Structures are given as structure tokens and as C-alpha cells.
Amino acid sequence: MTLLDHTHNPAARSWLASANLTGADFPIQNLPFGVIRRRGSNEAFRGAVAIGDQVLDLAALAKLGVITGAAGDALQQAAKDALNDFMAAGPDAWRTLRHALFDVLKEGGTAEQAVRSSLIAQADVEHRLPSRIGDYTDFYTSIHHARNVGRVIRPDDPLTPNFQWLPIAYHGRASSVVISGTDYHRPHGQAMPPGAKAPVYNACTRLDFELEMGFFVGPGNAMGRPVPLAQAEQHIFGMCLLNDWSARDHQFWEMNPLGPFLGKNFCTSISPWIVTMDALVPFRVAFERPADEPQPLAYLDEPGNRAAGGVDVQLSVGLESEQHRTKGLAAAEISRTSFRHQYWTIAQMLAQHTVGGCNLQPGDLCGTGTISGPTAGEAGAIVELSQGGTKPITLAGTGEQRTFLLDGDAVILRGWCEREGAARIGFGECRGMVLPAV
């Protein structure tokens, strides 16, 4: 792949020993961006990069003067209390800073002693959202999820006729996007009980998670100027994990005839670190559509997207009940799949978003939609795993059963990329817990 460079060398090592450990999420080949401050302090939030079990404080690093020129300018932007300006700077600035950070963190780097003074243990920091999210759009791009959920709502016709022709999406609620570790209360809303003639108002009884990834917009586009598919990834800064919590009883009642509203707008969780598209280069895979299925229209098709539009991110979902915590047990893994199964690529999602003239802005967030694979154990939502609540799943470690989420349940999403000949990189985790309704 032509975009591979020295920062992807799997043999490269950092002078920070924890970055070289087998299975580490944040080796020197990763270098994801986030926004941090010391936990419990009144310090200003500032940009940071994860490396091993530490974070590199970019504001502190900028003061040292060890990175200068164009990379130094990019460092100043990335050191701010939100990454919007750095995202807006574009791929050249992102890559220039990535290379400079790689150089100061690599084994044998001449600035090691100075740079060490800019490190903070990950255990000692707290995060906030990495950008000021002006808008949040959530897509619906897994054909396996669409069919699984469609069978719950429309058993005889589970797949909508437009699904295979365009990346479907709805406009989400940016104000309720929260950083991993933020718990939320079970929402209230209307639902139509089976066989009833009138809806009821109640706390959600069919609370669900959705395993998704998110991607952040880099440079925006002018209103009325669509982004061609071939240029779409120049407008994508990087990816994170995303949990689109869903009140299924409220959602299924309100979605006739329009899209999600209260069933989705109460909370969306994202992981704190954004893995850049450069870091994901070794894990790109072909976008393939079976020959007997509809092929993308011309504006959603181009050679580069077909050759390497997909990303092979391995994903898992853990469910941690109160019993797990009381007994000191690890969360029960209830699903594992890969992002490579999505029916549409992130470039196609962004191109579709702008084709009507919509102007995206730096720092905007897009969700990929629930990620489900072709087998039962790869479902990305509990409504699929429990077949609409009709077949309880059993949690390892405690033997508890679930059809939907209970109060006190925590859901932990994890993601990582690995293949032979490349350094493993991780996304960390995206965690949230259900609190009782208020």
C-alpha cells in the first residue's frame, strides 16, 4: 500500500517500555489524539497523544521547543482544549505532526530526556470530548444488523428497499454525546405495548446498546459543494468507538413514519482516543459487493474505494453486571465481530452526507451504525442477540440472563487492529453504565 511509511514499521520501538509490550493498545505506530487534564484538577484541558501506559501532554511538549517548523505549527493546534483547529488543518498537517511525534518517541531519539517531562500516566488523567461537536449524524450501514432488526419489526420484509442503494442516516443529538465512563439514567418515553390500543408513558423497558464506530470530520466543505468519493477520506481525521444507546420500545413506536427521536437522543458514548486514518493504513481492506447484489451508483463508486475502502477493526462487547463487580469478575463478552463487514465504507458515508450540498464542519461526528457480522455471535446489539427479547442470553461468570439491559449493567466496547506483518494498534475502550430512571 503506497501510504505505508516508516511510522508503520512493525519493528519500530519507543524508548517508553510500556509502548513495546505485546498486546498494548498504544504502541509508537498508533499515536491517537485526545483531550486531557490531570484527574481531579482544575487544570485547563489540552490535547494529548496516547503512548503505552502514558499520555504525551502536547501543551507541555510545545513549550519545550523540540518540534519546530510546520510540525511545530500543527503541534500548537493539537495542543488546544479541543482538536477542531487541528482537524481543520488537513492531512498534510496531521501527517507532519505524526512523523515528528514518532521521531521524538522512537528508541534512540535525541530528545528523550526532555520529552519524558511531558508524560503523564494514563491512570492519572481524565478526558473530555476531543472536539466541539457541532453536529452528529448516525448511519445505518450493516446489512446483517438491518436484517436482524428488520425481522423483529417486519418479519416478512426485513430489509428496506433503499438499504442496498445508499448509506442511510439520521441526524442525531450532539448535546448528549458523552465521553467514555459517563453513566446515564434510564430514559422515559412513550411505547405501544403488544396488543394495546393506546400507548403508555414509562421508563424504557427494552434498553439496548449499539456497537458502532465513529469518525470525525477534518476539513469541512462549503455549502452546496459535495465532496467527491475519491476525496472523501481527505476530510476524515480518524475513528473512535461509539455506543449509540437505544430505547427500543420507544424507538419502534415513534419511528412511524419518521426516524429515531427520543429512542436515541438521551445518550451516545464515545471512546476518548481518536485513531488517525494514517495509523489505520496497514489494516485497510477491499470494499467488495457480491456480484448478484446492487452495485453502488457511479457517485458512490471509484477504484480507490473498491481497492481499500474497508478497515479491518476487530471489535468486542462486554457486559458487566452488578454481580460481576461484586464478585470481582471480568465483564462477560457477549459479541465479537469486525468493522470490515459493513455494507458501506466511511468514505461513501461522507460522500453521501454531502451529495445534496450539506456543509460538514471540522469536529463533526458521524456514527457508522451498528456493526454486526454474518453469524449469530457477531451481533452488535442485544435486540439481535436476544432475537427481540424472545431468547435470553446467559452471562459468563454469573449465569445471569438478559433480554435487554438492566439498571447497573455496564457495557464495554473494545477495538483493535492486528495482522501479520503489522504492529497491533488499539482504540482503548468505550464504557457506560445504566443508572435507574429518575
Contacts 24+ apart (CB under 8 A), 152-155: 152/383, 152/387, 152/388, 153/252
Burial class (CB in 10 A: 0-12, 13-18, 19+), 411: buried
- CB 231, CB 219: distance < 8 Å: no
Residues 6+ away with beta carbon under 8 Å from 22: none
Instruction: Band the pLDDT of 1: cuts 50, 70, 90.
Output: very low
Domains of the chain with bracketed CATH? 6-128 (2.30.30.230), 136-435 (3.90.850.10)
How far is C-alpha 5 from the geometric centre of its chain's CA atoms? 25
Say if residue 204's pLDDT is above 50.
Answer: yes
- Cβ pair 363, 232 in contact under 8 A: no
- Of all residues in the chain, the percent with pLDDT exceeding 90 is 96
> For residue 239, what are the β-bridge partners?
215, 275
DSSP β-bridge partners for residue 260: none
Taking each helix axis from N to C end, the angle separating 69-78 and 91-105, rounded to the nearest 10 degrees, works out to 100
Instruction: Tell me the sheet residues that pair with 375.
Output: none
**Residues involved in catalysis:** 145
What does the alpha-carbon distance between residue 353 and residue 347 come to, in Å, rounded to a whole number? 10
> Lowest-confidence range among 1-15, 82-96, 292-306?
1-15
| 248-260 residue pLDDT tens | 999 999 998 999 9
CA distance 190 to 250: 6
3-state class (DSSP) for residue 321: coil
Mean pLDDT of 214-241: 98
- Cα three-residue angle 171-173-175, rounded to 5 degrees: 150
Q: What string of DSSP letters covers 55-113?
A: EEEHHHHHHHT-S-HHHHHHHHHHTSSSSHHHHHH-HHHHHHHHHHHHHHHBTT-TTHH
| Residues 41/19, Cβ–Cβ less than 8 Å | no
Long-range contacts of 60-67 (CB under 8 A, 24+ apart): 60/117, 60/118, 61/104, 61/115, 61/118, 64/111, 64/114, 64/115, 64/117, 64/118, 66/104, 66/111, 66/114, 66/115, 67/97, 67/100, 67/101, 67/104
pLDDT tens profile 361-416: 999 999 999 999 999 999 999 999 999 999 999 999 999 999 999 999 999 999 99
Q: What is the mean pLDDT of the chain?
A: 97
Which DSSP string do the residues of 289-302 spell out, in sequence order?
--TTSPPPPGGG--
* Model pLDDT for residues 229-241, shown as the tens digit of each residue: 999 999 999 999 9
| pLDDT single digits (tens) 124-149 | 999 999 999 999 999 999 999 999 98
Q: How do residues 97-124 score in pLDDT, each as one tens digit?
A: 999 999 999 999 889 999 999 999 999 9
Does 2 have pLDDT greater than 70? no
Which of these, 95, 13, 428, lies nearest to 279 by C-alpha position? 95
Instruction: Taking residues 313-319, report their average pLDDT.
Output: 98
Does 179 have pLDDT greater than 60?
yes
* Number of CB atoms found within 10 A of residue 156's CB: 6
Q: How confident is the model at residue 154 (pLDDT cuts 50, 70, 90)?
A: confident
